[in-house]
Amino acid sequence: MEVKIEKTGEDLTVKFIGRLDTAASQEVAPQMNALKGETSGNIILDFSQMTYISSSGLRIILTIRKDATANGGRVVVRGMNDGIRSVFMMTGFLNLFEIE
């Protein structure tokens, strides 16, 4: 799993490339924690090159969502594939995010 972070103005785009499984989540989590308070703008989670997500990955993005809301920003999830969409559906995550 590779994560690319880009800042455009106040907005932050976080692009996930590959599988966000339990092993990858443990590596990515500290990097995501460091984002906390990085922006008061919106956060775009770019899933267009994410192929898989497990519950550990869901926990990471829920934390991002909670932190962003606390800072007054929105979180948008962009480009998820059908498999990830079905995981979002099974866990009630579809209702938590703006999906593009």
Partner 1 sequence: MKHLQLHNDIRQIPLLARFIETISREEKLDENLTMTLNLALEEAVANVMLYAYPKGTDGLVDIDAVIGRRALRFIVTDCGKAFDPTSTPEADTLSPAENRQVGGLGIHLVRTIMDEVRYERRDGKNILTMIKNI
Binding site for partner 1 (CB under 8 A): 19, 21-23, 26, 52, 54-56, 58-59, 62-63, 65-66, 69, 82-83, 86-87, 90-92, 96
Q: Which residues contact 68 (CB under 8 A, 6 or more apart)?
A: 42, 43, 74, 75
Compare residues 40 and 83 and give the one whose CB is closer to partner 1.
83
How far apart CA 43 and CA 45 sit, in angstroms, is: 6
Compare residues 8 and 26 and give the one whose CB is closer to partner 1.
26
Q: How far is the CB of 70 from partner 1 (least distance, A)?
A: 9
Task: Output helix, strand, coil percentages for the chain, rounded to the nearest 5.
Answer: 40, 35, 25
Compare residues 15 and 65 and give the one whose CB is closer to partner 1.
65
